[in-house]
Amino acid sequence: MVFADLFFLYFFLPLCLVLYFATKRIAYRNAVLIVFSLIFYAWGEPKWIFLLLVSTLVNWLLGLIIGKNNESVMAKIALALSLVFNIGALGVFKYSGFIVENINSAFGTSISAPGFTLPIGISFYTFQILSYVVDVYWGKVPSQKSYFKFLMYVSLFPQLVAGPIVRYHEIAAEIDNRQTKLSDLSDGLSRVILGVAKKVIIANSLNSIVVNCFGDMSDGFAGLKTISTVGTWYGVIVIGLWYYFDFSGYSDIAIGLGRVFGFHFNENFNYPYISKNITEFWQRWHISLGSFFRDYLLYVPIFGKRRKYGGLFLVWFCTGLWHGASWNFIIWGLYYGLFIVLEMKIGKKRMKKMNTVLAHLYTVIVVAIGYGIFYFEDFSSLGRFFKSLVGIGTTGFIDSVTKTSVQNNLFLLIAAVLLSTPIVKKIKELGNRSPQACVTVNTVGVILNAALLLISSLMLLNNTNNPFLYFRF
C-alpha cells in the first residue's frame, strides 16, 4: 500500500483514526497500530510479513539477552548473532544476485543468480532494529520487555517501508505514554496533505520531464542519442528536484502521521539545496540515514584502532551500497566521500570564506553530477552521461526538445525551485509576529490545504501507480 493512493487517504487512514481514537487506553491504541501496520505492509506482498515477524521476534529475544547480561560474554554473543542475522538477511535478499553476477563476471563461472525479490522496506526496518540492539548493548536504552511494543516500534506503518529511520530512544517514552493534542492533529494532517501534494502534484510531474529527457531508468539512457549538453544538465537538475520532492514528500507524510498518533519523529530533510558545501548538504539530506552511519560506522575500529579516513571510506561505501546492489551506487557513495574528505582537508574556516554564489554553484554542480551517477545504473549509460556533460557525442549545445520542455514546464520548475527553499517557512514566521497576521496565515493555510488535497485527489483519479522512489531501496 502507498500513501499517495485514494484508498489509503479516504478509507484505510480514516478507519484507522476512528478505531485509534475510539478509546484513550494506550494498550488498545497500540493494538490498533500493530494491526493496521501489518495490514499496510501485507497489502502488496503478504509473503514478506513472515520475514518481518521473524526478524522482530529474533531481535526482541536477543535484545532481552543483551539487556540482562550487560557487557558479559553472553551479551557479546547475542549482539554478534543479531548482526549476523540482520546483515545476513539484508545480504541474501538484496545483494546475493549482485554478488553472484560479479563472481560470474570475474571468474567466467555460470552460477545461477538467486531469484529473490526485494522485500519492501527491509533496508529501513533492518537499520531500525540494528540501532535498537546496538543501543541496548551500549547501555543507551533498556531492552523492551514486551514483544508487541517492540513489534509496534518496528512496524509502525507511517515509516515502515521508506523511512525515516526512527531510533528506539526517540520514541521509547511515547510507546507507553503519549497523547494527541488538537494542535498535533492539525499540524500532522497538514503535513500529510503537504507530503501528498509534493508527491502527486510536483514529483510525478518532474518524473515525466526526466523520462522525456533520458527515458525511463530501465531504458538505459535511451534519450541521450538526441539530447544536447544543456539538455543533459537540465535533465540531472530536474532529477534532483524530483528526488527531493518524492522522498521529502514521503518523509512529510510519515512525520505528519506520526504526529497524529502522538509520536514525534525527527526531521529527515532540512532544505538541502540551500547548502554551501557538500558536508552541509549531507547534514540536510536524508538526515536519519546519515546520522545512522555516522553513529554506528564512522568510529568502528579498523585493524584494531579508529581510523579517520578509513571510517569515512566505510561510511560512504556503505551509504552507496545501501541504496542498491549496483556498482553505480557504490561509485556514487565514494564520489561524495571524496568531496567530504577534500572539504575536511580544506577546513571549515576556509570553506566558510568562499564566495556565497560560488559556494552554491560548486554545490549544485557536484550534487547534479551525483544524481547522474545515481540515476544511470549501467556503465555504458554512465559513460555516455559523463561525455554528454561536456558536449561529447551530443546533438549540440542546446536542442529544441529541451527548449520546449523548459517553456512547457516553466511554472512547475519555478515552483519546484522556490518550494525547495525555506520561503514558505519564512512566510509563516512573519505571520506569527502579530495575532492578526497569524489568523490570516492560518486561514490561508486551511484554504491551501483544502485546495492541495482536492487537486491531489483529482490527479490520483487518473494515476493509479504512485510508488515512492525509496520503496525500491
Q: Is residue 4 part of a domain?
A: no
pLDDT score recorded for residue 26? 94
| Last residue within a domain, chosen from 140, 155, 179 | 179
Task: Look at residue 169 and give its three-state secondary structure.
Answer: helix
Give me the DSSP letters along 3-27.
SSSHHIIIIIHHHHHHHHTT---HH
Catalytic-residue membership of 264: no
Q: Are residues 445 and 410 in the same domain?
A: yes
Q: Is residue 9 part of a domain?
A: no
Residue owning grid cell 503519549: 178
Q: Are residues 124 and 111 in the same domain?
A: yes
Q: Is residue 276 part of a domain?
A: yes
Q: Which residues contact 347 (CB under 8 A, 6 or more apart)?
A: none
What is the DSSP code (8-state) at residue 119? P
Q: Are residues 452 and 350 in the same domain?
A: yes
Q: Are residues 232 and 324 in the same domain?
A: yes
Q: Are residues 227 and 312 in the same domain?
A: yes
For the chain, which residues score pLDDT lower than 50?
A: none
Give me the DSSP letters along 404-453.
HHHHHTHHHHHHHHHHTTTHHHHHHHHHTTSHHHHHHHHHHHHHHHHHHH
| Last residue within a domain, chosen from 179, 210, 240 | 179
Q: Is residue 349 part of a domain?
A: yes
Give me the DSSP letters along 388-406.
HHTTTTSS-S--HHHHHHH
pTM (2 decimals)?
0.92
Q: Which residues contact 99 (CB under 8 A, 6 or more apart)?
A: 91
Q: Are residues 162 and 194 in the same domain?
A: no
The boundaries of the domain holding residue 317 are: 183-472
Q: How many domains are there within the chain?
A: 2
What is the DSSP code (8-state) at residue 117? P
Q: Are residues 94 and 190 in the same domain?
A: no
Q: Are residues 61 and 137 in the same domain?
A: yes
Type of residue at 146: S
Q: Are residues 156 and 191 in the same domain?
A: no
CB-facing half-sphere around the CA of 121: CA atoms within 13 A = 30
The string over 238-277, giving b where at least 16 C-beta atoms fall within 10 Å of a residue's C-beta and e elsewhere, is: bbbbbbbbbbbbbbbbbbbbbbbbbbebeebbebbbebbb
C-alpha distances out from residue 370 to 275, 367, 426, 431, Å: 15, 5, 29, 37
Q: Is residue 169 part of a domain?
A: yes
**Residues 67-91: tens digit of each pLDDT:** 998 878 999 999 999 999 999 999 8
pLDDT score recorded for residue 222? 53
Q: Is residue 43 part of a domain?
A: yes
Determine which one of 169, 264, 286, 323 is catalytic: 323
Q: What is the sign, positive or negative, of the torsion defined by CA atoms of 191, 197, 203, 206?
A: negative
Q: Are residues 34 and 115 in the same domain?
A: yes
Q: Are residues 317 and 454 in the same domain?
A: yes
Rounded Cα gap, residues 344 and 347, in angstroms = 5
Q: Is residue 299 part of a domain?
A: yes
pLDDT score recorded for residue 219? 53
Start-to-end CA distance of the chain, whole Å, equals: 16
pLDDT score recorded for residue 399? 84
Q: Is residue 103 part of a domain?
A: yes
- Residue 244: its H or E element: helix 229-260
| Last residue within a domain, chosen from 179, 202, 226 | 179
Q: Are residues 159 and 191 in the same domain?
A: no
